[in-house]
Structure 1
Amino acid sequence: MNTASRRRFLSAAAAAGAAFTAVPSRAIAGAKFVAPSDRVNVAFIGAGTQGIRQLIDALPRGDMRVAAMCDPNRRSDDYVEWGRNEIRDKVRRFLGDQSWGADAKGCRCGREIGVELVDRHYAKAGLGWKCAAYADFREMLAEEKGLDAVYNMTPDHLHGSVVVAAMRLGKHAITHKPVANVFSESHLAMTTAKETGLATHLFCAADKHTTPLMCEWIRAGAIGAVREVHNWTTRPFWPQGMIELPRERPPVPDGLDWDLWLGPVPPRPYHPAYTHAVFRGWLEFGSGALGDMGHYSFSQIFRILNLGVPSAVEAGRDQFWKIEDCLWIKQENAVSFPRASMIRWEFPARDGMPPVALHWYDGGMKPPLPAELGEDGEDLPEEGMMFAGDEGTLLADFMGDNPRLIPARKMRAFAKPPESLPRPLPELDQWIKACRGGPATEASFERAWPWSQTILLGNIALRVGKKLLWDAAARRFTNSDAANSLLARAYRPGWEL
């Protein structure tokens, strides 16, 4: 890299660091902020395994009160968890009650469980608060006038409906990823957040201290101008690759309001293959491996490189064939995400930095082994992210941990620059401060919009099977009507946004 080019690159990289600069407190008419001395009154929407995990983390906070719990499932023992008795043991530790769930036949969750945890915690703390319970979040938002915010932990297909409805009623919103699993809803959530000035946040590892650290290294010219980024995961380990919907018609479990669980999705018969943690693999209900995991890594990659919106995306995925009448016949998959895929986005030059190609791999796929690792006799980690620059390579674990230059001799010789960018607060701390009128979070719906839409465009490319050209200003593909038809969902009457 010549001196002039290097100077332009370092100047542009410095501009990327501006993404970590705090935004001044907002004073937008109509936004209802909470006084610093008051607790934020929150409604938890979604009491499955992820919701219970988050609830246990949130309840001890002195700056938040869980005032209502909502889930269309009353309670059941059929939830899917990451480890045997993980939820039971977590609840027992939280309550200090080693007998909790002794009669459970499996993983127990649901709105009654959420209410129990809230009421027992506040009773033990001597606060005496009681938690209201609802099956329908729309009813809850209409009746609970004292709510300041919603904490959304529902399956992906409900995210857009929940956060948009809440913001339209003046409630701040925090949600597990994604903001929505269809493009039009994600865009609506972003614009609604912008128009209302409410505090929003997308859970996506937006509190990693390695994010500004890697930005500082790249700003210092550790690997030169970055032209490629590779990101890979072992997900999915939930079912994907199904080529047809379940044919069995089991009865709807007692206590589950299946109609409410479907939300905006057109009616279909109940099946346990759709619910709880396994919703992720279905096109209607989930976001696939990319939507489930990509937000964690993309939130860092986008802020490090100051990425905006891609100009093009293309994808490759697994295929299935069957033998019928002595012929090989390809199986078309129009119902679920693939078991394995590779996706490539193209980003134009910005602020003096060169164009970048971002590569995603899932289902056990990885990029080719870089020569630098071969020099050290190492292999790529099972999951990771890798920045390839003109003058070197930066490798990190999937969530950005353990960043290092490769080969090892370059890391040993690297003079680490001084800390120059602020380190983010924990995600909930960021959001509570925003609810009180402080700076927008690192992953407010507006800030998360570039990587949110990038992920959604990637999922569309998986379904269309051709290179797609994206017009960000028009919010449409210029070369595929089929792809454009997937930017919005077909709504069940009464659920339109």
Structure 2
Amino acid sequence: MKNKPENPSQSSRRGFIKESALALAGFYIVPRHVLGGPGYIAPSDKLRVASIGVGGMGYSDVSGVFKSGKADIVALCDVDDTRAARARKDHEKAAYYKDFRIMLEKEEKNIDAVTVSTPDHMHAVQAMMAMKMGKHVYVQKPMSHDIYEARMLTEAAEKYKVVTQMGNQGSSGDGVRQMIEWYNAGLIGEANKVWSWTNRPVWPQGIPWPSTPITPPADLDWDLWLGTAPYKDYVGNLVPFNWRGWWDYGTGALGDMACHIMEPPFRVLGLGYPTSAECSVGSVYVGEFQRGYFPDSCPPSSHITLRFDRPGKEELEFHWMDGGIQPTRPEELAPNEIMGDGGNGVIIEGTKGKMMCSTYGANPQLLPTSRTKEVNVPQTEYRVPGGDRGHYSNWVEACIAGHGSDEFKKLSSPFSIAGPLTESVLMGNLAIRSYDYRVPRPGADNQFDYPGRNIKLVWDGPNMKITNFEPANQFVKRTYREGYSF
């Protein structure tokens, strides 16, 4: 049967509807940068990622982001060609650079996000440059080397409306969420004391800087590796791991582990800036009864005490111990039960009881541990799919959805949370460095006083300033080497 010819009125009406539909489509289909603003990525797109530092933990970060299934690695950067080789093989189409500044400038239009997995002293300058370009960032822990850097990164994340995440993957685990639910249910009452500890360092600390420089490996750009730090000749036993024990580059046992271990009680108790810090450190002896003084190196062990004011509540006392120092074993723990995971852990003491966990907030337990199976509280906290293994996807999904989205609100460790946590961690290092600050003793040859000892440093968090010992403030912020800015 032949179709009847349309009458003019039907044709005009259908043409109007068709034209209207096209007009509406033209109105709604707009460029992604217009729709979502800076940093917005259309849901149908994959996240285009550039990675700075792609050996060691950097390789794990690149792989974790890629395995989310929603990201493409389009550029790689590393100062060490040998350590970068595995990532370059996995992502053969990715452009490769040695200088992050050149990479970000050349790839600015080709990338949406950046991962930063370099030594601690480079985190802030690399993340800040990316954020100023409107790029989302994932930064390994600690998110900065200095307190000032942590504050500036936190403020920049909000200013530039980018999606951020620190690489403390335990914050995406179920353990910390379980502890929040237990605490909010009142199972241990009001917390008044926290104990946290680690068996780190497992690298040299409390040692003199090597006296004999050597030639850097041919595949390592030593000048770029130094980056913001003062220039020094290359020495052995530093790269790729033992830099952690030197203040110019690393942040010691605190920087390595506290973002994993202090994070659960920090989140459970909703802590902000500490109000004071004090410490003691382990001694290193050189010769008979002589304490070595090595101010360039982190100490072999330390005990930090931070205090936090909480409006309407008792002041919280927060202890950190490293180098194998541990708190007194709780009487609620049976003789054959492991405290934490043996070498690391957390105990939160409350007015009605205690709870404990391992590194990353894993294996949360009420004490005595028999209570753990006896209680059942409602699940109120969001669980990240895959737990700590979903930490990368947690960030990738939020980057794709954009700043302020529902996925953004599900982030485990955005800078709004990671920033104050990092500042508290680094406050411990400020106390350590103040403890070892020395001045010549008047009228005595080769004798010194240590005015930063036997003192509780009072911290003005909003203004980032120690109010009762001015020399301590030199450790709030570093001066960068020429060629690097923040």
Correspondence for 2:197 among 232, 239, 249 = 232
Change in 2 beyond 3 A, CA 1:60/1:405: closer
Q: 1:423 Cα shift?
A: 1.5
Query: Which residue does the alignment assign to 2:429?
Result: 459
Query: Which residue does the alignment assign to 1:308?
Result: 272
Q: Secondary structure at the match of 1:264?
A: coil
Q: 1:28 Cα shift?
A: 11
**2: CA distance between counterparts of 1:171 and 1:457?**
28
Q: Secondary structure at the match of 1:320?
A: coil
Query: Which residue does the alignment assign to 1:24?
Result: none
Q: 1:219 Cα shift?
A: 1.4
Which AA in structure 2 matches 1:68? A
Q: 1:496 Cα shift?
A: 2.6
Consecutive unaligned residues of structure 1, counting only runs of 5 or more, are 1-26, 76-108, 120-129
Correspondence for 2:130 among 154, 166, 175 = 166
Query: Which residue does the alignment assign to 2:161?
Result: 197
Query: Which residue does the alignment assign to 1:488?
Result: 477
Correspondence for 1:428 among 380, 387, 392 = 392
1:361 and 2:350 matched: no
Which AA in structure 1 matches 2:74? A
Query: Which residue does the alignment assign to 1:32?
Result: 39
Cα deviation digits, residues 349-394 of structure 1 (max 9, x gap): 23x44321111111111001111125x5545333211111111111
Q: 1:328 Cα shift?
A: 4.3
1:442 and 2:412 matched: yes
> For the aligned residues, what is the CA RMSD?
1.9
Query: Which residue does the alignment assign to 1:11?
Result: none
1:157 and 2:121 matched: yes
Q: 1:417 Cα shift?
A: 1.1
1:332 and 2:293 matched: yes
Q: 1:139 Cα shift?
A: 0.2
Change in 2 beyond 3 A, CA 1:28/1:403: farther
Query: Which residue does the alignment assign to 2:223?
Result: 259
Correspondence for 2:233 among 243, 248, 269 = 269
Q: 1:273 Cα shift?
A: 2.6
Cα deviation digits, residues 269-297 of structure 1 (max 9, x gap): 01233321111111111111111111012
1:47 and 2:54 matched: yes
Q: Secondary structure at the match of 2:472?
A: helix
**1: CA distance between counterparts of 2:69 and 2:360?**
29
Q: 1:217 Cα shift?
A: 0.9
Q: 1:30 Cα shift?
A: 5.1
Which AA in structure 1 matches 2:184? R
Query: Which residue does the alignment assign to 2:175?
Result: 210
Determine if contact 1:347/1:355 at 8 Å carries over to the other structure.
yes
**2: CA distance between counterparts of 1:28 and 1:353?**
45
Cα deviation digits, residues 33-58 of structure 1 (max 9, x gap): 11111011101110221112222333
1:473 and 2:443 matched: no
**1: CA distance between counterparts of 2:314 and 2:52?**
43
**1: CA distance between counterparts of 2:173 and 2:349?**
21
Determine if contact 2:303/2:322 at 8 Å carries over to the other structure.
yes
Change in 2 beyond 3 A, CA 1:371/1:249: same
Q: Secondary structure at the match of 1:373?
A: coil
Larger Rg: 2
Which AA in structure 2 matches 1:450? P
| TM-score computed with the length of structure 2 as normaliser | 0.83
**2: CA distance between counterparts of 1:348 and 1:407?**
28
| TM-score computed with the length of structure 1 as normaliser | 0.81
Which AA in structure 1 matches 2:354? T
Q: 1:468 Cα shift?
A: 0.9
**2: CA distance between counterparts of 1:344 and 1:424?**
32
Percent sequence identity over matched residues? 33
1:115 and 2:88 matched: yes
Determine if contact 1:394/1:405 at 8 Å carries over to the other structure.
yes
**2: CA distance between counterparts of 1:184 and 1:355?**
25
Query: Which residue does the alignment assign to 1:184?
Result: 148
Which AA in structure 2 matches 1:338? P
Which AA in structure 2 matches 1:264? T
Determine if contact 1:167/1:196 at 8 Å carries over to the other structure.
yes
Determine if contact 2:61/2:115 at 8 Å carries over to the other structure.
no
Change in 2 beyond 3 A, CA 1:275/1:194: same
Which AA in structure 2 matches 1:31? P
**2: CA distance between counterparts of 1:73 and 1:215?**
42
Change in 2 beyond 3 A, CA 1:408/1:483: same
1:250 and 2:211 matched: no
**2: CA distance between counterparts of 1:443 and 1:399?**
13
Identify the range of structure 1 (30-39 vs 218-227) with the bigger mean alpha-carbon deviation: 30-39
Determine if contact 1:206/1:424 at 8 Å carries over to the other structure.
no
Q: Secondary structure at the match of 1:319?
A: coil
**2: CA distance between counterparts of 1:354 and 1:32?**
42
Q: 1:299 Cα shift?
A: 2.2
**2: CA distance between counterparts of 1:140 and 1:408?**
52
Change in 2 beyond 3 A, CA 1:57/1:422: closer
Query: Which residue does the alignment assign to 2:444?
Result: none
Q: Secondary structure at the match of 1:434?
A: helix
Determine if contact 1:59/1:118 at 8 Å carries over to the other structure.
no
Determine if contact 1:231/1:398 at 8 Å carries over to the other structure.
no
Determine if contact 1:47/1:153 at 8 Å carries over to the other structure.
yes
Q: 1:398 Cα shift?
A: 2.5
**2: CA distance between counterparts of 1:28 and 1:180?**
32
Query: Which residue does the alignment assign to 2:139?
Result: 175
**1: CA distance between counterparts of 2:280 and 2:90?**
45
**2: CA distance between counterparts of 1:212 and 1:353?**
22
Q: Secondary structure at the match of 1:270?
A: coil
Matches within 5 A, 1:364-403: 364-374=324-334, 378=337, 380=339, 381-403=342-364
Which AA in structure 2 matches 1:337? C
Determine if contact 1:28/1:197 at 8 Å carries over to the other structure.
no
Which AA in structure 2 matches 1:400? G
**1: CA distance between counterparts of 2:240 and 2:35?**
38
1:223 and 2:210 matched: no
Correspondence for 1:296 among 256, 260, 271 = 260
Cα deviation digits, residues 217-245 of structure 1 (max 9, x gap): 11111111110111111111112121x21
**1: CA distance between counterparts of 2:308 and 2:384?**
26
Which AA in structure 1 matches 2:159? E
**2: CA distance between counterparts of 1:66 and 1:59?**
7
Aligned residues: 420
Consecutive unaligned residues of structure 2, counting only runs of 5 or more, are 1-33, 436-452
**2: CA distance between counterparts of 1:30 and 1:365?**
50
Q: Secondary structure at the match of 2:48?
A: strand
